[in-house]
Structure 1
């Protein structure tokens, strides 16, 4: 079993499921881009129920069998699981078929998993496991206001409504508290060609589509400044005469900078396009225009998740290894060569294909 440094979720409030020994995974694991708690799935091997599939900084999928602050992260490649569970050979053989499929998924965020698990024919124990936690939904309220404001204006006009959570927004729309709001809701149902009694289902679907966009944008907004700080840290290594005289080192640094700039610029452009299309929807409200917006956003879930997951695990490891910045030029170059470069072409390839570059 290897024990490399890898970004993993810190302990936090528990969430279902649980057994006699306590919760099998926490909300932070469920909300993460790079973690898939095995307890979400019908696992046959008892010892695997508390393990997680995680992406390491090289974007390899490994099985994390334990993680705590004292001992770190205990990771093993999937093909070596047999040595850990010698008394459950039959059960492990069943689970390995599933794990082999899961290792090919580029991101473990709930929105990517919804699509990829369905495509792979893998069930989940509870559909709620593929929803963001209440805590994360609360964090995303600010982002969701951008998407729900036009909807609130359609129903409530110019009246300012105070909300603190996404669920409040949806409840407000599903249960209008004024005659005028109810009339507007009827008009909305006519424009959408949705029966009034079906409006709550539409609102839930609308909320979920844009909650996914808010989730990914929140991830992106946190990552872009980190990537920019990392690039400055990396490029500062060229100030060293030793690095500046080495053409291969200089070229490697330039390639990393070019790829990271291209990736972040391209994916930011995709989000700007989503913003434009969602605004167009409110200029031409119809069931067809909503289906088009929904399809546009959902068709990008897997690629956006893959790109953001890749960047997230690399930036997390950089912060873990160099929490205060620093590090001599040689250390920086070696870290970039051994931990940042592996898998970077894969991230770049995902983004290029998704954006049509």
Structure 2
């Protein structure tokens, strides 16, 4: 019997995140600080709107591009929050989460052999999606000494005559790094000079802390026409299970993305789309409260790791912290595995997000302070035992 499976899909490794959570699910008393999912409930008025949509029988297909009312609200929101101007009819589409938008954008924009620049550590889907689109992923290894930001020098040295797309993953999962206006401005001349396109994953745009607020590279002169902005509702609005994202960009690209989405998906869940309209219109205060809570947890973790003697740069975005465990002489996977087995605490090895994540752990603070305290207590005990040997 012939092998029924594609060599391409067989060559892609499964997510390095899942291993630990599969074990946790079978381990009594184990806890996790690894899941990138808000611990808040979806705001009640959003849930109520989803329920109302079902009660009113709004269970039909929407247009392939998404509910028109939602696309209008998305564009209004982006203008209000980030000074981005998009046409809801021709430059906006609704997807099944931001992950579908990443996949569809890459498949619509590359031909076999085109190179896609992927800064790492970063979200686990970029590389396999590039491979599935028959592109060549080119990894840019971000450095801790640069706070895991992409520098113009790193960008320039990885560009070839086959480079077509730069994935810009900021605010960053797993490091929590952000790129401010001045830092993005330094990338723009290179992107335009080399005629690159950008897929800017801004799913954590609302979750920024300190003085620097999120800036989209699409706001810069000459960049809107070469950028696909990807965002969604999972993180800022605590709507992970609603599976709703969106993409905005130049009409010719969005049209092809809608075509592919049409054949693969048809449309995003209808009641989720009605609920998302409510989220965009009336949930600014809810988001602000969640951001305030995340910021409190963020500062708590930064201080706690300093007290433990672990090197850890201060993250200003998303809800992750990325401490270094290099001084213990173990790989990230070894450290995370022993921590899980000895202290029943799951964290994610940095290598789940690229080889340059070696020597680091991703810890999520999308958990209550009580859970974080319990988790950090177990880490502290584990480190004390290592240091006493």
Structure-1-length-normalised TM-score: 0.29
Highest RCO, 1 vs 2 (Cα 8 Å, sep ≥ 6): 2
Of the two, which has the highest radius of gyration?
1
Structure with more helix by fraction:
1
